[in-house]
Amino acid sequence: MTIPLRRTRCRRRILAAGTAAMTLTALGSASAAVPRNSAMISLTCDGHTAPRSPVAISPPLGIRSRHTTVRGTLLLDHCFSPDGSADRLRSAAVDLGLSGTASCSGAHDVTGSGYVTWYATPDRTGRPVGRSTLGVRRPHADTWSAATPLPAIAVRTGTLAGHTVTVGAVGTPAALHCSTWGLRSLSGAFWVTVHPGS
Which pLDDT does position 102 carry in this prediction? 87
Which pLDDT does position 90 carry in this prediction? 97
Which pLDDT does position 105 carry in this prediction? 79
Q: What is the mean pLDDT of residues 52-78?
A: 92
Residue 109 has pLDDT above 60, yes or no: yes
Q: What is the mean pLDDT of residues 52-62?
A: 90
> What is the separation, in whole angstroms, between the first and last Cα of the chain?
32
Maximal C-alpha separation, the chain: 51
Cα separation of 151 and 110, whole Å? 9
Q: How confident is the model at residue 136 (pLDDT cuts 50, 70, 90)?
A: confident
Q: What is the pLDDT of residues 156-177, one digit of tens each?
A: 999 999 999 988 765 555 666 7
Residue 5 has pLDDT above 70, yes or no: no
| Global confidence as pTM | 0.74
Residue 21 has pLDDT above 70, yes or no: no
Residue 106 has pLDDT above 90, yes or no: no
Which pLDDT does position 179 carry in this prediction? 79
Q: What is the mean pLDDT of residues 84-103?
A: 93
